[in-house]
Structure 1
Amino acid sequence: MKPNYSFLLKLLIAQCLALACASQGYDFFYLVQQWPGSYCDTTQGCCYPTTGKPASDFGIHGLWPNYDDGSYPSNCDSNNPFDLSQVSDLTSQMQVSWPSLACPSSDDTSFWTHEWDKHGTCSESVLDEHAYFQAALDLKAQANILQALENAGIQADGGLYSLTGIKNAIQDALGYEPWIECNKDASGQSQIYQIYLCVDYYGSSFIECPVFPNVGSCTSNLEFPTF
C-alpha cells in the first residue's frame, strides 16, 4: 500500500501547530513596579492621569510571563482583547496601584489594555483577565517596596543611596532578591526606576528569580527622586 502523503502532511502540520501553541506557555512571572518620580524626572517627562496625580508610591507596570531562559511570550491571543467590564470591581484600586504616566493624559485604560493584550493573554490558561489583574494587585500589596526601603532609611528625598543597600533592604523585607532597573534624570544621574520581583507560575507567590532581566544597568549609587 502506498503511503498517504496528503494525510502525513496534514498530520505534520497539526503537530507543528500543537508545538507552536505549547511554546506560548511560560515558566514564571516578573512583577514589575516603577517609581513615578523616576518616570517623570527625565528629559521626556510625564503626564498625570485624568484622575489626578498618583500616590507617592511604586506603581505596577505589569505582571509579565517569562521563560527560564530569559525570553518571553507576547501578544498570545488577539481573539481575547482587554474588556474593561471584566475588571469593573477592580478599577478604583487599579487607578491607585496601576496608574499611567504616559502622555497625553488618559484614564489608564489604554495602559491596562496594552498590558493585558501583550502579557496577560499569554497566561490566560491559568489566569483569566480578572484573575490576572487581581493577582498583580495582591502581589503589590504583599510587596510593600516603599515601606521596605523607608524602614532601611532609604527615602524618596532626592538623595543618593547605594545599589547594594537598596537590594538588601528589599530582600531583607521580602525574603527574595530583586532586580533593580535604573534610568537617568534630566542631568544624567542614575536613579531607581523599576523593581522586578519573580512570581510563581500561578501568579500567587514570590520565588527566587530563575533569571534576571538584562535591562537598565545601574551605577553603584542611585538617586531616589521625590514625587
Structure 2
Amino acid sequence: MVSKFSFFIILLVLHYLAVVCISQDFDFFYFVQQWPGSYCDSDKNSCCYPTTGKPAADFGIHGLWPNYNNSSYPQNCDPTNPFDESEISDLISNMSMNWPTLACPSSSGETFWSHEWDKHGTCSESVFDQHGYFETALGLKQQTNLLQALETAGIKPGEGTHSLENIKDAIKKATGHTPWIECNQDSSGNSQLYQVYLCLDNAGSSLIECPVFPKGGKCRSEIEFPSF
C-alpha cells in the first residue's frame, strides 16, 4: 500500500515531468548573432576580450533560443541536465572563435555557454542534446555568414551610416529570409547595428520566416556599423 508521503512524492514528480514536457513544446527558434563592435562601443556594456584574445572582426553567436508564437519563451527547463563542457570537447576551438564572450571579467567562454545551455538549450531537449545544440548553432553561423552578406552589398564596418532597409535587404538576399535587426546606442547616442535575429523551425533543421519579431532594440532608419 502506498503511503500518503510516497503518493505526494509521486505527484510532485509527475507535475515536474509535465512542466518539462510542456516547456519543450515550443514553436520556433531565434538564432541570434551579435556584432562585437557594437557590444564594445555601447553606452551600457563593459567589454572585456576573452582569455583567448581579441575575437575576429566578425559576428559572433549569442544564442539559439526556443520561442513561442505569442512572443514568450520557455527557460531553465531541465536543471537535471546542466552544461557539461566534456560533451562538446571537440567543438571548443570552433566555439572560442565563433561564440566568444565579451562580458567582464575576461573568461574562456564556459560561463557564457553554460548560461545559454541552461537557460535556453535545456528547453530544446526534445530536438537536441548538448552537442547537437551547439553544433547546430555553429553550422548556422557558417551558413548565414552575415559579414560577407553585408560586405557584398557594400556595407562595411567603420564606413559611416547605412540604411536599415539596405542592411535587411542584404541579409535577406544572402539567407533567403527576413532578419530582425536589433540596435543599441553608442556613448554619443547614435543607433548602431547590434544583433541580427533569424528564425529556425522547431525541428531545428531549416531557416524560416520569423513568426513574430522581438519588440525591443528598435533602430533608426540610418544606423552605424562600427569597426571592431
Is 1:70 matched up with 2:96? no
> 1:23 deviation in Å?
2.2
Could you tell me how far apart the structure 1 residues matched to 2:14 and 2:123 are? 20
> 1:12 deviation in Å?
9.1
Aligned to 2:171: 170
Aligned to 2:122: 121
Alignment of structure 1 residues 1-227 onto 2, 5 Å? 19-25=18-24, 26-43=26-43, 44-227=45-228
> For residues 124 and 160 of structure 1, do their structure 2 counterparts lie closer, same or farther at Cα, with a shift above 3 Å needed?
same
User: What's the CA shift string for 1:61-104, capped at 9, x where partnerless?
Assistant: 00000011111000001111000000000000000000000000
| Contact 1:139–1:204 under 8 Å retained in 2 | no
> Cα RMSD over matched residues?
1.9
Q: Report percent identity of matched pairs.
A: 62
| Contact 1:27–1:68 under 8 Å retained in 2 | yes
| Contact 2:67–2:73 under 8 Å retained in 1 | yes
> 1:13 deviation in Å?
8.0
User: What's the CA shift string for 1:155-192, capped at 9, x where partnerless?
Assistant: 00141001100000100111100000000011110000
Displaced runs of 4 or more, over 4 A: 9-19
Q: Counterpart amino acid of 1:33? A: Q
Q: Counterpart amino acid of 1:164? A: E
> For residues 18 and 81 of structure 1, do their structure 2 counterparts lie closer, same or farther at Cα, with a shift above 3 Å needed?
closer
| Contact 2:20–2:78 under 8 Å retained in 1 | no
Could you tell me how far apart the structure 2 residues matched to 1:48 and 1:13 are? 44
Task: Return 5+ residue gaps in structure 2 as ranges.
Answer: none
Moved more, 179-188 or 199-208: 199-208
Task: Return 5+ residue gaps in structure 1 as ranges.
Answer: 1-5
> 1:22 deviation in Å?
3.3
Q: Counterpart amino acid of 2:34? A: Q
